[in-house]
Structure 1
Amino acid sequence: MPTDLIKLPGIGKKMVLMLNEIGIEEVADLRGKNPLELYEDTCDKRGERMDPCVLYTYRCAVYVAETDEAEQDVDLRKWWNWKDKQHTNERNLKNE
């Protein structure tokens, strides 16, 4: 099934598969999501601790999905620039 996820920066075939495994089928599914929860879901689904780069890519993907293209910061379209940033949708999972 074709997906628009592949159009997101940093998202390749493997990332599309990982997103599909946790119920994300298209870009619209990312809106309002917590990237940290998506990352934890991927780790649980795969039964292993994933590289933190997956979290950074999820942060970037949610940012791009939620932000109008004209308003996007060019630097935030690069997943590696999310290493030391939290997305506004993130919250401490331990406090829920």
Structure 2
Amino acid sequence: MHPARCPPASEAVDLLQLPNVGPAMAADFHLLGHDNPQSLRQADPYLLYQALCQQSGKRHDPCVLDVFIAVTHYLQQDQALPWWHFTAQRKAELASRAVGPAWPLVQ
């Protein structure tokens, strides 16, 4: 959903009400065992991304991680922002974790 159209985070009951989430991203959340927004409130977006890559057997575009960060930010701060707002934050965080460009490793 476009961030400007999101309800207050406490009122979101469907994954499709989350910022930047469409049917494909909702399916990714289902794959990870999350069927509703509140189950994502305390989730670590970096661990979600790592789990998605491992479960799907492929490394997803890093912008998917930006969406995960945007979703958890929205649920924790009640502020819906476009996913690209979090790109610099993601790059800085991954640099601080000293992970290489191949992170996460997919087997």
Decide: shared fold, TM above 0.5: yes
Q: CA deviation at 1:85?
A: 1.0
Q: Which residue of 2 aligns with 1:85?
A: 89
Of all paired residues, the percent bearing the same amino acid is: 30
RMSD value, Cα: 2.0
How far apart are 1:57 and its partner, in Å? 0.1
Rounded to whole Å, the distance in 2 between the matches of 1:59 and 1:6 is 16
- In the TM superposition, residue 79 of structure 1 has moved relative to its aligned partner by 0.5
The letter of the residue matching 1:82 is F
**Total equivalences in the alignment:** 82
Aligned match of 2:24? 14
Please give the per-residue CA displacement for 1:38-95, whole angstroms capped at 9, x wherever unaligned: 0000001110000001000000001111123xxx2x6xx1101110115xxxx95x8x
- CA separation in 2, counterparts of 1:67 and 1:26? 17
Which residue number corresponds to residue 70 of structure 2? 60
Q: Confirm or deny that 1:37 pairs with 2:41.
A: no
Larger Rg, first or second structure (1 or 2): 2
- Runs of 4+ in structure 1 over 3 Å off: none
Q: Which runs of 5+ in 1 are unaligned?
A: none
